[in-house]
Structure 1
């Protein structure tokens, strides 16, 4: 079954700047589409959305242009991207930015990294007013928060943007290695109660600790499905960050193991169909 990867990171350090990478040696260096496709195509990953990599702010639109050039080539798996943004900026700057995005059809949504930012960053009226501009242009917002931020940061923000399609990244970043399951369960249930929020099953192997197995991941996977159902979930590789918890093949194999016994319709919902709807992608054969 075809897989649409909704969370592929590509890094081009010769062109773009990533200040954060200086503190993460494992993720320094290039991560190109050619490197990814060599690994991904044999695993059934045929289509992908590039997820912004928290480039330095002056390079945000340069990153959009780099991915636009990849999409225009039509010989790669990349069909669009989720771009970086700064909705905390006051005045008309963000409105003008959204207008420019509307003229770039390969941009399907935006993300502002919140899990490494102060909890107060997204609490302002300016932040939510700016996010609400996205809905008018049909753009979605990927929400990346820590598990402890789900109830106090993510839920209020999603409530202030009821018309905005929000995708919660990495299952809300549960502390799988630490076994912190119960509090995350309750808080995930709270955000799943908001109909404008979907969930991305991605990234969790990086939080699972050494020696994780499919059974380590299963309680988290099953709770996401129980909360969001099969129509509000998408899948992401989180490559190359997934290498912190194994490799791409291991994560894809674990995904198939977690889906064992699920119907073909349920598997298609997670692996490709929901991604087409939420990120406004065209259909393709093999879905």
Structure 2
């Protein structure tokens, strides 16, 4: 694996890896073989993107705690059910994951989880939780395009996020809408 990572890392466009963990069963992220692979990423400056469902957040927390030098980003807020208010368990898990300063969060996948029957205010409680948990310094917009088209247009995804963050400073909005991602993925 080290040889492959070294070879791939020669390409400056290769920034990290993502495994669709929600396709896996049980405690996949705490499996020693999986963790052995993740343990090699930091040596090459690579990010690991955490793509999970809410019930898998405890595994993501354990992974982030085990590898504090590894940069992680939570994709799609862990795909919560946005058709109803955030569950207490999701809120607690998000807060616990965010206690690890090596974990960032993509503000993405909102429409993918909402389907066609949503209203912009539906997303506010979820956005409130991630802002409170991660702060403005560790949030970044991600469109989840083209998957997000299952719930609405790219423009609608963008508008939800821009409208929500319009209550914050222009500097904070710039961070969320690109600045943090540029730094995190080293594309400045």
Q: TM-score normalized by structure 2? A: 0.95
In structure 2, how many angstroms separate the alpha carbons of the residues matched to 1:205 and 1:181?
Answer: 18
In structure 2, how many angstroms separate the alpha carbons of the residues matched to 1:214 and 1:185?
Answer: 20
How far the C-alpha of 1:244 sits from its partner, in A, is 1.0
Tell me the equivalent position of 2:46.
139
Residue number among 90, 102, 124 corresponding to 2:31 in the alignment = 124
Structure 2: where are the runs of 5+ without partners? Answer: none
Deviations 1:53-92 (A, max 9, x none): xxxxxxxxxxxxxxxxxxxxxxxxxxxxxxxxxxxxxxxx
SS for the counterpart of 1:167 is strand
In structure 2, how many angstroms separate the alpha carbons of the residues matched to 1:178 and 1:224?
Answer: 16
Structure 1: where are the runs of 5+ without partners? Answer: 1-93, 283-287
Deviations 1:77-108 (A, max 9, x none): xxxxxxxxxxxxxxxxx222211121111101
Query: Higher RCO, 1 or 2 (CA under 8 Å, sep at least 6)?
Result: 1
How far the C-alpha of 1:126 sits from its partner, in A, is 2.5
In structure 2, how many angstroms separate the alpha carbons of the residues matched to 1:272 and 1:123?
Answer: 32
Tell me the equivalent position of 1:96.
3
Q: Look at both structures and tell me which one has the larger radius of gyration over its CA atoms.
A: 1
Instruction: Give the alignment's Cα RMSD to 1 decimal.
Output: 1.3
In structure 2, how many angstroms separate the alpha carbons of the residues matched to 1:125 and 1:227?
Answer: 29
How far the C-alpha of 1:124 sits from its partner, in A, is 2.0
Contact 2:97 / 2:103 at 8 angstroms: preserved in 1?
A: yes
Tell me the equivalent position of 1:213.
119
Tell me the equivalent position of 2:87.
181
Q: Which has the higher helix share?
A: 2
Q: TM-score normalized by structure 1? A: 0.63
In structure 2, how many angstroms separate the alpha carbons of the residues matched to 1:149 and 1:126?
Answer: 17
Tell me the equivalent position of 2:21.
114
Tell me the equivalent position of 1:105.
12
SS for the counterpart of 1:110 is strand
5 Å matches for 1:32-51?
none
